[in-house]
Structure 1
Amino acid sequence: MTITTVTSRKLLPTTLAVALAGLLMVSGCTKQADEDTNAATETQTEVANTETTDNTEMTAAEKAHIDRLIISYANMAHAAYKDSLDTAKALQTAVETYVATPTQENLDAAKAAYKAARQPYSQTEIFRFDEGFVTANDKRAINSIDSWEGQINAWPLDEALIDYVGDDYEGEYNSQENIINSDSITVGSIKQDTSTITPELLAEMNEIGGSEANVTTGYHAIEFMLWGQDNNGVKEGAGNRPITDYATEAGQCTSGETVNEDASICERRGEFLTAATQLLVDDLTAMEAQWQPDTENTLRSDLIARKYDNGLRQIMYQMGSLALGELASERMQVAFVTGSTEDEHECFSDLTHLSYANNARGIQNVFNGSYTTVAGKTVGGYGIKDYLTDNGHTEAADKLAAEFNKVEGAFNVIVEKGEKDGIKIDQMIATVGQASQEGISAEEQNVRRGWVEAGITSLQELTASIENAAKAVGIDNLDADAGSQF
């Protein structure tokens, strides 16, 4: 298995417009809605009243625009993490119900809750490229979003460390002993007691032995425990873990096609899944608290305190880093070039098309200054588009808006094909040779690959416009993350 993780990336001091030039091997977002006027009015003074480093080069008008941009950004972050927390709690409830009563109906409900929980969280990833900006503060509970994110969203994971896998599975961890079937396991030189599965144990074991593939926490561990391995390759179909994997009656507990002598393994699966969802809720609770208004020693207060120094650069850096280095490169290009379903972001559930689109939507949210909550409320009110326009850079704003329209169009196609036509990302990224073995013509497969290629290209062009817009406001070297290079 090729290991490419979201927490491992290379920073390249190069212009974003050419960072991925020549790499291709072949060939959701809406207009800003009305801002939440009341919320904006209530919190507008938060930035203005915060002590900051004086920047005499900024005019009063420019500072006012930064004030609006930062408070809008912080409010969107809070709303998105609050949605992520609330939907994670709903997922936790569904998981607990399923573990207690493992029926197909309850499994389907847990899977639906997982799908719903991923929608807002995937939009928060725009906020995570912050590690090079935040100020050191021993009183702050979380150092940075980027350092926190690995316990929430790291991928791909070496599923053999957690539970049973198929005989043809190839990963870094190749022992028959795993967390589910053993009271202790050995990873490299580390012997780990796994007799009692708790959120604390899973957090302790995450990336055990220094391997980024040894993921034991977060959304994708939960995804694996609900769906199981997807052994369909580039064919139609997601993972299909049977409900009997959670059966606690003697003689009914299975590990796939294997019937176990007793139900202890199935009981431990329930313990793992329950612990993983509890840890997810705990982690999101901590992050939501970091963005609450009128707080001290939080990521929000830190951003506000340095708003005139590097607040704008951070936001534009995050836009470019997610667009190019993470989404276009790590998440899409790696799988696209290699035809590797192991590098698909949601490889167990086949929900990758939605993760892609919501990552792109998160970037557009910051551009438009508008996040729509799960409940349908609009939060924000002022984005990069407004900042550029108000500072006389209408051409740059219009160029970015046009590029976002292209991105939106490309990802709408990917979502429509995935949701309505049942053609998932693993089928889209298949090489022509792989697809031919499944009876798909070269002509048809090139069309499918073209949908993914259009998304990658639109993100590359968007990033070039982000860089140009940064230059327009005096940021000559944005140096955003350019991701893996082939």
Structure 2
Amino acid sequence: MTITTVMSRKTLPTTLAAALAGLLLVSGCTKQTEENTDTSADTQTEVQNAEATDNTDLSAADKAHNDRLISSYANMAHAAYKDSLDTAKLLQTAVEAYVATPTQENLDAAKAAYKAARQPYSQTEIFRFDEGFVTANDKRAIGSIDGWEGQMNAWPLDEALIDYVSDSYEGEYNSQDNIINSDTITVGSINQDTTTITPELLAEMNEIGGSEANVTTGYHAIEFMLWGQDTNGVNEGAGNRPVTDYATEAGQCTSGDTVNDDASICERRGEFLTSATQLLVDDLTAMEAEWQPESENTLRSDLMARKYDNGLRQIMYQMGSLALGELASERMQVAFVTGSTEDEHECFSDLTHLSYANNARGIQNVFNGNYKTVAGKTVGGYGLKDYLVDTDNKAAADQLVTDFAKVEAAFNVIVEKGEKEGIKIDQMIATAGQVSKQGISAEEQNVRRGWVEAGITSLQELTVGIENAAKAVGIDNLDADAGSQF
């Protein structure tokens, strides 16, 4: 498929089609789409009121299949969030060691811990699109995963709000004052005291001034503090923040190429990094608790209470929304069409290829009913594939098996190129014109772009299969989030 047909694709079901939402092209990893799911009040009402598998029409056998599906889903969610929490704690330990003793070895260890922590978390994003389904409950600590997720995984972020950036940086926040170098900063009409950097301050400041670009929390803030800004564009290389940015000895503290008069600014970087990591652990602790078996007033208990009403719809809606609206559209197609490295999901570390693949794996986990823990244990046991077969919809299950095989093959290529050959997503999405100065031919670059394009196309086709499967089980209007279609 050519680039043109990606941009003008018209073969999606009408219930998944969306008008072009437009692009906000802002330099410097500026957040635009992490929370782009349509969760307005009207949309939530439509989802909750849409036709679903009616509990009064289910036979005893169908209810038993439904029970197995929902229980397996909930167990996978718990295992994935527990893995996310456990690896975040290991990241926290590595970060604390690095801040206490800023050496290259400790920095490398912290980066490795970040990479490991992202693997299970990226697989949890299948559970995210729930806000239109969960019921209100003042006793529940977290209202919805979708509402909680922004503090964890918001991207891209306007790094100038946090720390120094290159002279060529162009973002929404353009003041020389930032959280690291100043005791107070001004954002619009807000004058914010930043004297003491704590987890509470970072949570309070997240999206300060109402701007989604002003991200101060979560994985990507930590990523920026470890790698620094990636100024390589579509060339090889990730961010390369020097260890001396955390040096606390007088005369050795730097801000990139600049040597600071005293070490207080480096001490503040350490405070920011440890605070952001603590907040990450706190947030994941709260979410892991929401999926504990036999819990009350939790997201798990809420799902169990309505498992015969919209539980099945929620699962299929989440699969379609992550596949099409979030991954294929917002995370991949936006960057692919524009050749914009600023829209790369992990633009500081160049680990985007793994995030993409693990997002896709998360969808497949729910389909197959199996989540493989970090320790190698398989959790689940019953997926949508089994449900479809057991409810006499084997043809729909078989089609999705074929669709998932294409998805897996496409993302295996992306991961292999990124991990084994060092060709990262920012190099894959570049246009032929962007890489011509590097001596890369248009033909070679089109091959690279084809790897990403194949991933997008496979996800689009998968979503068609998901919607067809939904119709097979009586859900005529799945209305999964379609993102910004080109």
For 1:276 and 1:92, the matched residues in 2 are separated by 9
Give the Cα–Cα distance (whole angstroms) in 2 for the partners of residues 308 and 438 of structure 1: 57
Q: Which residue of 2 aligns with 1:17?
A: none
- Residue deviations 1:284-320, cap 9 Å, x none? 0000000000000000000000000000000000000
Q: Would you say 1:259 and 2:259 are equivalent positions?
A: yes
User: Between the two proteins, what is the percent identity of the paired residues?
Assistant: 87
Contact 1:368 1:383 in 2 (8 A): yes
Q: Distance in 1 between matches of 2:322 and 2:175?
A: 35
Structure 2 distance, partners of 1:315, 1:9, is 15
Deviations 1:343-375 (A, max 9, x none): 000000000000000000000000000000000
What SS is found at the alignment partner of 1:107? helix
Describe how 1:104-143 pairs up with structure 2 within 5 A: 104-143=104-143
Q: Corresponding residue for 1:4?
A: 32
Q: Which residues of 2 match residues 443-454 of structure 1 at below 5 A?
A: 443-454=443-454
Question: What is the distance in 1 between the residues matched to 2:157 and 2:438?
Answer: 27
Q: Is the contact between residue 11 and residue 480 of structure 1 (CA under 8 Å) also seen in structure 2?
A: no
Q: 1:98: which partner in 2?
A: 98
Aligned to 2:59: 59
Tell me which residue corresponds to 2:269: 269
Instruction: Within 5 Å, give how 1:209-228 maps onto structure 2.
Output: 209-228=209-228
Q: In structure 2, how many angstroms separate the alpha carbons of the residues matched to 1:295 and 1:88?
A: 23
Q: CA deviation at 1:336?
A: 0.3
For residue 371 of structure 1, give the secondary structure of its aligned residue in structure 2: strand
Tell me the distance in 2 between the aligned counterparts of 1:458 and 1:420: 22
> How far apart in 2 are the matches of 1:424 and 1:98?
26
Q: What is the Cα deviation at residue 4 of structure 1?
A: 2.2
The DSSP-based 3-state class of the residue aligned with 1:172 is: coil
Structure 1 partner of 2:467: 467
Map of 1:393 onto structure 2? 393
Q: CA deviation at 1:188?
A: 0.3
Once the two structures are TM-superposed, the CA of residue 437 in structure 1 deviates from its matched residue by 2.2
| C-alpha deviation, 1:440, in angstroms | 0.9
Per-residue CA deviations over 1:120-165 (Å, capped at 9, x if unaligned) read: 0000000000000000000000000000000000000000000000
Amino acid at match of 1:8: N
**Structure 2 portions without partners, runs of 5+:** 1-24, 41-52
Residue matched to 1:165? 165
Pair 1:425-2:425 in alignment: yes
Alignment partner, residue 351 of structure 1: 351
Q: How many residues align?
A: 446
Structure 2: how far apart are the matches of 1:410 and 1:8? Answer: 25
Contact 1:154 1:215 in 2 (8 A): yes
Q: Say whether the 8 Å CA contact 2:39–2:131 is kept in structure 1.
A: no
**Whole-Å separation in 1 of the counterparts to 2:457 and 2:287:** 33
1:403-418 matches, within 5 Å, as 403-418=403-418
Write the deviation string for residues 252-278 of structure 1: whole angstroms up to 9, x where unpaired: 000000000000000000000000000
CA contact (8 A) 1:11 1:482 kept: no
1:32 is aligned to none
Distance of 1:68 and 1:270 partners within structure 2: 46
User: Cα offset for 1:482?
Assistant: 0.4
Q: What does residue range 155-304 of structure 1 map to in structure 2 within 5 Å? A: 155-304=155-304
SS of 2:232's equivalent? coil
**Aligned counterparts of 2:223 and 2:327: Cα–Cα separation in 1:** 20
| Counterpart code for 1:367 | F
| Aligned counterparts of 2:54 and 2:319: Cα–Cα separation in 1 | 26
Cα deviations by residue, 1:390-432 (Å, 9 ceiling, x for unpaired)? 0000000000000000000000000000000000000000011
SS at match of 1:179: coil
Q: Which residue of 1 aligns with 2:149?
A: 149
In the alignment, the residues of structure 2 paired with residue 120 and residue 57 of structure 1 have an alpha-carbon distance, to the nearest angstrom, of 37
Q: What is the alpha-carbon distance in structure 1 between the residues aligned to residue 153 and residue 173 of structure 2?
A: 20
- Give 1:443's aligned amino acid: E
Query: What 5-or-longer segments of structure 1 have no aligned partner?
Result: 13-52
Displacement of 1:10 in angstroms is: 4.4
Match in the other structure for 2:13: none
1:304 alignment partner AA: M
- 1:53-92 equivalent positions in 2, closer than 5 A: 55-92=55-92
1:315 counterpart residue number: 315
- Secondary structure at the counterpart of residue 167 of structure 1: coil
The answer (yes or no) to whether the contact 1:11–1:483 under 8 Å persists in 2 is no
SS of the residue aligned with 1:289? helix
Runs of 4+ in 1 over 4 A off after TM superposition: none
Distance 2:424 2:57 in 1: 51
Secondary structure at 1:437 match in 2: helix
Structure 2 counterpart of 1:289, one-letter code: A
Contact 1:131 1:145 in 2 (8 A): yes
Report the 3-state secondary structure (helix = DSSP H, G, I; strand = E; otherwise coil) of the residue aligned with 2:284: helix
For normalisation by structure 2, the TM-score amounts to 0.91
The answer as to whether partners of 1:119 and 1:354 remain within 8 angstroms in 2 is yes
Whichever residue aligns with residue 186 of structure 2, its letter is T
**Deviation per residue, 1:318-349 (Å, 9 max, x gap):** 00000000000000000000000000000000
1:456 is matched with 456
Structure 2 match to 1:41? none
Q: Is the 8 A contact 2:164 2:255 kept in 1?
A: yes
Q: 2: CA distance between counterparts of 1:57 and 1:443?
A: 56
Contact (CA 8 Å) 1:367, 1:384: kept in 2 or not?
A: yes
Checking the alignment, whether the CA contact within 8 Å between 1:182 and 1:194 is kept in structure 2 is yes
Q: CA–CA distance in 2 between the matches of 1:374 and 1:11?
A: 32
**1: CA distance between counterparts of 2:313 and 2:437?**
48
CA displacement 1:198-219 (0-9 Å, x = unmatched): 0000000000000001000000
Report the equivalent of 1:328. 328
Letter in 2 for 1:186: T
